[in-house]
Amino acid sequence: MTEKKWRNEISEAELESQITQAKAAWVQAASTEPRAESVKFYPRKLQYTIELTNRAQFSFPVPLIRELADASKEALADVHLSGDGSSIHWETLDVDFSVPGLIYRILGTKPSMSELGRQGGKKRSTAKSEASRQNGKKGGRPRKKAVTV
CATH code of the domain containing 86:
3.30.2020.40
Q: Is residue 5 part of a domain?
A: no
Residue 120 included in any domain: no
Measured CA to CA, the distance from residue 95 to residue 79 in angstroms comes to 9
With residue 53 as reference, give the H or E element that holds it: none
How high is the pLDDT of residue 131? 81
pLDDT at 55 over 70: yes
Confidence of residue 64 (pLDDT cuts 50, 70, 90): confident
Q: Which of 14-23, 116-125, 140-149 has the highest mean pLDDT?
A: 14-23
For the chain, the distance separating the N- and C-terminal CA atoms, rounded to the nearest angstrom, is 44
Number of folded domains in the chain?
A: 1
Query: Per-residue pLDDT averaged across 126-143, rounded?
Result: 80
In a domain, 101, yes or no: yes
Query: What is the pTM assigned to this prediction?
Result: 0.56
Long-range contacts of 71-74 (CB under 8 A, 24+ apart): 73/43, 73/46
Question: What pLDDT was estimated at residue 46?
Answer: 94
| Residue 133 placed within a domain | no
Write out the residue range of the structural domain in which residue 88 sits.
33-113
Q: What is the pLDDT of residues 93-106, one digit of tens each?
A: 999 999 888 888 88
Question: 43 in a domain, yes or no?
Answer: yes
Flag whether 21 is in a domain. no
* pLDDT at site 129: 80
User: Does 47 map to a domain?
Assistant: yes
The answer to whether position 91 is within a domain reads yes
